[in-house]
Amino acid sequence: MKEYNVAIVGATGLVGNTFIQILEEVDFKIKSIRFFASKRSAGKVLYFKKQPIVVEELNENSFDGMDLALFSAGGAVSLKYAPIAVSKGCRVIDNSSAWREDPSIPLIVPEVNFRDYSMNRLIANPNCSTIQSVLPLKALDDAFGLNRIIYSTYQAVSGSGQKGKDDLIRTLNGEEPKFYPYNISKTCIPEIDVFLDNGYTKEEMKMIHETQKILHRPDLKVTATCVRVPVLNAHGVSVFCETKKKASLEEVRSVLEKFENIVVLDDGKNHRYPTSIVANGTDQVYVGRIRQDLSNEYGICFYCTADNIRKGAAANAVQIALKLAQSDEM
Ligand SMILES: NC(=O)c1ccc[n+]([C@@H]2O[C@H](COP(=O)([O-])OP(=O)(O)OC[C@H]3O[C@@H](n4cnc5c(N)ncnc54)[C@H](OP(=O)(O)O)[C@@H]3O)[C@@H](O)[C@H]2O)c1
């Protein structure tokens, strides 16, 4: 069985730490592992399977001899260093938004479009809210065809990285916010990433474009409103979708239940529905509150949750790496 030399770029961050944790959990054969971050964290000691590993400052030689690099250090680092890693023969799975909309770069959710990987050694990992939404949407698109999607998100502060978690804890302790524009312990904030000229935020446009790309449906009508909520971890997304073929609730439940890594929790009267609490620390997507839209006979509504750091980032990337290794395509 082949073993791989692995580089974690952004190892000291929330996603980077979760890469390390997940690589400890899964059966991915590792010959060597190196941790990279900025100058600020160089020299810090992290652990992999109880072995101390010193964090190194990322530089152009960091990828020499590496087979796989998992990037989670922001777009600027990915834009500069991912092509360097690729030029050295390394497979790169990038968590930033730097390459996601590039038509030549595959954007992959393994349960949905793993076969989109190509000989291009760079793969983009989608946005966290998009990943959890496209599992149920793929199931529904295959079964009934989709015409239109309306997303409303309820995104946890961990989606902003460590700074977001710190700001929620700080403001819960009665201190002033230092990161979000408002006190996140007291309000939801309908601003994620920067505002664009069309009135949408960049996060909302990411959800729109990434959904169309992953589902291979550039014609699909999608709109989104993205909101940060005072929850530490695990995003919620409320989804309305309009199908081409009429679908009964039983049929909808049945296709969702059969889809890989979806857990249907849909018994409202007994308080069984997706929450951030149930999703936290897991790699599944929880789907519930499944309803026929009363205002549209082709409309289906549901709510889904997932751990944005695991399934929405690190676990999705590691699943891609595992599948590549199984297909001998690493
Ligand atoms: N949080 C999520 O839910 C989520 C989901 C999907 C994708 N992502 C993406 O993943 C990336 C990281 O997110 P995060 O939440 O883990 O953020 P984070 O907790 O703030 O961590 C950022 C990491 O990047 C490193 N870094 C920053 N500047 C660097 C540089 N110039 N050179 C090398 N390393 C550098 C930091 O190292 P230092 O310790 O040296 O500062 C740290 O390890 C972002 O692109 C984000 O968009 C996040």
Catalytic pick from 128, 226, 241, 304? Answer: 128
For the Cβ of 96 lying below 6 angstroms from any atom of ligand 1, the answer is yes
pLDDT at 1 over 90: no
Pairing verdict, β 56-57 and 30-37: parallel
150 C-alpha to center of ligand 1: Å? Answer: 29
Read off the tokens for 287: 């789907």
pLDDT at 328 over 90: no
How confident is the model at residue 26, as a pLDDT? 96
The DSSP code for 156 is -
15 C-alpha to center of ligand 1: Å? Answer: 7
How confident is the model at residue 84, as a pLDDT? 97
For the Cβ of 17 lying below 6 angstroms from any atom of ligand 1, the answer is no
- The per-residue pLDDT of the chain, averaged, comes to 97
List of domains in the chain:
4-125+313-326 (3.40.50.720), 129-308 (3.30.360.10)
For 157-193, write each residue's pLDDT tens digit: 999 999 999 999 999 999 999 999 999 999 999 999 9
Confidence of residue 85 (pLDDT cuts 50, 70, 90): very high
16 C-alpha to center of ligand 1: Å? Answer: 7
pLDDT at 29 over 80: yes
Mean pLDDT of 313-320: 98
Mean pLDDT of 304-309: 98
**Who contacts 264 (Cβ-Cβ below 8 Å, separation ≥6)?**
253, 256, 257, 286, 287, 288, 290
Using the atom order of ligand 1, give the atom closest to the CA of residue 127.
6
For the Cβ of 16 lying below 6 angstroms from any atom of ligand 1, the answer is yes
87 C-alpha to center of ligand 1: Å? Answer: 23
The single-letter code of the amino acid at 282 is T
325 C-alpha to center of ligand 1: Å? Answer: 25
The half-sphere exposure of 277 on its side-chain side, counting CA atoms within 13 A, is 2
Mean pLDDT of 304-311: 98
Q: Whose CA is nearest to atom 11 of ligand 1?
A: 72
How confident is the model at residue 137, as a pLDDT? 98
For 229-249, write each residue's pLDDT tens digit: 999 999 999 999 999 999 999
| Whole-prediction pTM | 0.96
Mean pLDDT of 57-64: 98
**How far apart are the C-alpha atoms of 288 and 301, rounded to whole Å?**
9
Mean pLDDT of 75-93: 97
Pairing verdict, β 285-292 and 299-306: antiparallel
For the Cβ of 288 lying below 6 angstroms from any atom of ligand 1, the answer is no
For 104-149, write each residue's pLDDT tens digit: 999 999 999 999 987 779 999 999 999 999 999 999 999 999 999 9
Residue 271 is a catalytic residue: no
Q: At 231, give phi and psi (nearest 5°).
A: -125, 135
Q: Which of 307, 319, 313 is nearest to 281 (CA)?
A: 307
Catalytic pick from 90, 226, 235, 241? Answer: 235
Residue 235 is a catalytic residue: yes
How confident is the model at residue 103, as a pLDDT? 93
For 246-267, write each residue's pLDDT tens digit: 999 999 999 999 999 999 999 9
How confident is the model at residue 118, as a pLDDT? 78
How confident is the model at residue 119, as a pLDDT? 72
